[in-house]
Amino acid sequence: MIDKKMQDAINDQVNAELFSAYLYLSMSAYFENIRLRGFANWMRVQAQEEMLHAMKMFDFVIERGGRAILKAVDAPANEWASPLAAFQAVVEHEQKVTARINKLVDIAMELRDHACSTFLQWFVTEQVEEESTAGQIVDELKMIGDAPSGLFMMDREMATRVFLPPAAPQA
């Protein structure tokens, strides 16, 4: 059975993951509006990943005999000054998510909840990738500057991203 403190902390993180999905879906709409459909696609895929994260945590709480409790999700921003500003916001957001995941690990360690600690390691690794990817995109957007051809090429590249749910564990 999952400890109530751990259950509550994971439920809060489910809410944060759902907010992340809302944020990235909002960014997708922003990019659609400025006709950068590749960037919009990238954000839509990111929203799907965040929903997957939320569901993994939701299911984990239930699997451990806890109660998954959903809360209201705050409305995200819906306007950014530029593609660069949007991705700088992504980096900042992912850094906050990393801090939240680290706090979950701290709680699991405090409670000596080895199952939860093991479960959370996937998210720790995922956050390294999330921050790195968003940071790389920020760096590329800075290199492009005001060059429309560079933005056009990057938009084409972003359009190739697809959502690939993780493979089911093999028995």
Q: Find out if CATH 1.20.1260.10 is the number for domain 4-158.
A: yes
Residue 38: HSE in the Cβ half-sphere, 13 Å Cα cutoff: 12
pLDDT at 171: 59
pLDDT for residue 167: 73
CB 9 within 8 A of CB 100: no
The pTM for the full model equals 0.94
pLDDT of residue 128: 97
Per-residue pLDDT of the chain (171 residues; tens, 9 = 90+): 999 999 999 999 999 999 999 999 999 999 999 999 999 999 999 999 999 999 999 999 999 999 999 999 999 999 999 999 999 999 999 999 999 999 999 999 999 999 999 999 999 999 999 999 999 999 999 999 989 999 999 999 999 999 988 776 665
Identify the pLDDT of residue 98. Answer: 98
Q: What is the pLDDT of residue 170?
A: 61
Q: 10 Å Cβ neighbour count for 74?
A: 11
pLDDT at residue 168, rounded to an integer: 67
In the prediction, which pLDDT does 169 show?
Answer: 63
